Amino acid sequence: MALSPQSVAENPFDFRAPPPSPVASGRRSCVTNDEVLSEFLQHSLRVPDLILPDKVFPRQKFIDNPPKIDFQALNSMQTETLPKILDSIATIGCFQLVNYGIPVGSIRSALTAAAGIFQLPPQKRTAVTRSPEKLYGFEEVHEEDEGEVSEEFVWCKAKALELAMEGIWPVGYSNFSEKMETLVAEMEKVAEKILIVFREIYQEKTGRCEKEKMEGEDGNGWACYVYKHGGNVSAEKWRSCLRYDVMKMLIGGMDYSHTLCLHICDGSSEFHVYSKKGWVSFCPHKHALVVTVGDQTQALSGGQLKHVIGRPIYRGEEEEFISMAFLYSSSTTNSRLVDPQKPNTISLSQQAIAAILFTLLYQILVYVYYKF
């Protein structure tokens, strides 16, 4: 129908919609299109099947007891003794030492005196709590960690530790420190005899420079980890605390660089050895010292001797026990063993990496704690 001139004048702009586009007569269904697309993706994308481990927590492996080395045989350098020591250290990182000549009375008096440390109330322990700048004293206990199976205290010959402990435990600490220094003198004789073996074997390989490093021009250093193992612990709580302890040992390790570690663990039901390769355990011989190798000895041997961390376990005991781990260093590279308050320079990048790692570690520990 033609528009009249009057209509055009009233509506000068015509906004009528254009006619629809023609539709092809042969249309393909959407179902067919989906099948073609699925077949294309199936042949073009090769996504591998991922199989995750059932458990994140490492598995405990029980092994035969490491050899018992007679200290007198070690002292006389008998030829059959050396292969036993080296093979045991290379395999699991430790061996047992018997007949070492330390009076039983010296050990028992030090253990008895050490028990008094853990009688101090929490408010007094705060003044001697460990930190990145202060590697001695009590382990920091968070609210969720209260009531743990074991407690920990690090003793060394630092003047600051002596002053702090005498301020909160004047009479008891003087007696404890005196007992510890007597025991350390005996332990040092044992450690030096063991190091003679390593020096004889690796002296030609490492040369005079490493030999001087092992002998320590600035004197030897000692630190002692003192542990209190609680009694009457339920099986469920014991397993939970053990998992946390294993994760802490495998990831955190020990704060002190050392050559050897001598463990006093009389009465323990098991002894656990932690390394980067895993977690093994055995039943230690009664009255034996368990000797583990430190990072300095691993470096000296070119990696042939394995650095591990040892920890005695007291399972199902009704009474409390005290154990000790003496960290010995005769290297000048570890001056913090003698003076733990000597500052270390840490770059900003190292601090950032450490913050990321601690965040990830916290998430893993929380996951493991609630999962298992």
Contacts of 92 (CB under 8 A, 6+ apart): 63, 66, 273, 280, 306, 308
SS3 58: coil
Phi–psi pair at 131, nearest 5 degrees: -155, 170
**Full strand arrangement of the beta sheet holding 278-282:** 60-62, 278-282, 270-275, 309-313
Please list the pLDDT of the chain residue by residue as tens digits (372 residues): 554 555 444 555 455 556 665 555 544 455 556 676 677 666 666 555 555 444 555 567 888 889 898 888 876 666 677 788 888 888 888 999 999 999 999 999 999 999 999 999 989 999 899 888 888 999 876 544 555 678 899 999 889 999 999 999 988 999 999 999 999 999 999 999 888 877 777 764 544 444 433 333 334 588 999 999 887 766 677 677 777 776 766 666 667 888 999 999 988 888 999 887 778 899 999 889 999 998 888 888 888 888 888 989 888 777 889 999 999 987 543 444 444 444 445 555 667 777 788 788 877 877 777 776
- Within the chain, residue ranges assigned H as helices are 5-10, 30-44, 71-75, 81-92, 104-115, 122-125, 159-168, 170-215, 235-252, 295-300, 348-371
- Alpha-carbon distance of 228 to 148, in angstroms, equals 10
- How far apart, in Å, do the first and last CA atoms of the chain sit? 85
Based on DSSP, count helices (H) and strands (E) in the chain, helices before strands. Answer: 11, 12
**Full strand arrangement of the beta sheet holding 137-138:** 68-70, 94-98, 289-293, 260-264, 321-329, 221-229, 150-156, 137-138
Instruction: Identify the CA nearest to 330 among candidates 292, 289, 300, 290.
Output: 300
Q: Report the DSSP beta bridge partners of residue 225.
A: 154, 325
The interaxial angle of helices 170-215 and 159-168, nearest 10 deg, is 170
The pLDDT of residue 20 is 61
- Residue spans per domain, the chain: 62-138+148-203+219-328
Contacts of 186 (CB under 8 A, 6+ apart): 101, 102, 103, 106
Q: By CB neighbour count within 10 A (0-12 exposed, 13-18 middle, 19+ buried), where does 97 fall?
A: buried
Topology of the domain comprising 62-138+148-203+219-328: Jelly Rolls (2.60.120)
What dihedral do alpha carbons 330, 331, 337, 338 form, nearest 10°? 70
By the 8 A CB rule, do 129 and 137 touch?
yes
Tell if the pTM clears 0.85, that is, is over it: no
The pLDDT of residue 331 is 52
